Amino acid sequence: MRTVGSSRDKTWPIIRKTGIKLLFRHGFQGMNLRLLASESGLQAGSLYNYFDNKNEFLATIVSDIMKELLQQISDALDGVQDPEERLRNFVSVMVIWHTKRKKEAIVSQSEIRNLPKGRYEELIGLRKEFELILRKIIDEGVAGGVFRVLDARLIVVAILNMLTGIAGWYKPNGRLDVETLVGEYTDIVTKMLSAGKEIEVARGLRRRVQQVGRA
């Protein structure tokens, strides 16, 4: 039985926050628990009051992050019917998240590979949900005649790669503020889902595949 306000309630958030900082800075394998402990104001051994081992620590952090983002998206779509508005809301949450919560975004993207088997699959599952949500928005827009796509599955990953990529280059106090970015990306995504002219495929493709793809 835990007393309300016990020291656990104070310490874990500190560890969590420090952890995300260090995971962002050094990566999972590059960070170490001594550092996590000392920057959290603890001895290394004390961390084990909060998780079973380093891998589970990572799993908890990553899982919490992904669930929070999913929740934010869910909130933003809640009660909205119009596919174009749903899309705009989806994009805006993603842009804000990948800029304002850059560290969390990077960590949850990069460190899934370091999870222990069981947790790995669990979180891959969570990641699939993002695709499903966007896929549903697009399918409804296509059905409603407001979007046009060649291959829905592909456009989904293309958009997601583009949006999650933001965290990789965005710098706070950079050239563009977040609101502007939201506008720009909304524009880009909208174009991606519009009808386009017939395009010509690059010539000599077969030869180029040989050329570029030879190990």
Q: Which amino acid makes up residue 10?
A: K
Sign of CA dihedral 30, 13, 98, 87: positive
Pick the piece of the chain touching DNA (CB under 7 A) from 40-48, 74-82, 127-135, 174-182.
Answer: 40-48
Asked if residue 114 binds DNA (CB under 7 A), the reply is no
Please select the residue that binds DNA; options are 27, 55, 80, 188, rule is CB under 7 A. Answer: 55
Quote the least distance from Cβ 44 to its own copies, whole Å: 12
Counting Cα atoms < 13 Å in the Cβ hemisphere of 186 gives 17
53 binds DNA per the rule CB under 7 A? yes
Q: Could you tell which of DNA, its own copies, none binds residue 32, using a CB distance below 5 to 8 A set by kind?
A: DNA
What is each CA distance from 53 to 14, 32, 38, 60, 186, in whole angstroms?
17, 12, 17, 11, 41
2 binds DNA (CB under 7 A): yes
Kindly list the residues in this chain that would bind its own copies in the complex (CB under 8 A): 17, 27, 29-30, 72, 75-76, 84-85, 88-89, 91-93, 96-97, 99-101, 110, 113-114, 150-151, 153-155, 157-162, 164-166, 168-169, 175-176, 178-179, 181-188, 190-192, 194, 196-197, 199-202, 205-206, 208-209, 211-213, 215
Of 25-33, 60-68, 170-178, 194-202, which segment contacts DNA by CB under 7 A? 25-33
The residues binding DNA (CB under 7 A) are 1-3, 6-8, 10-11, 31-34, 41-50, 52-55
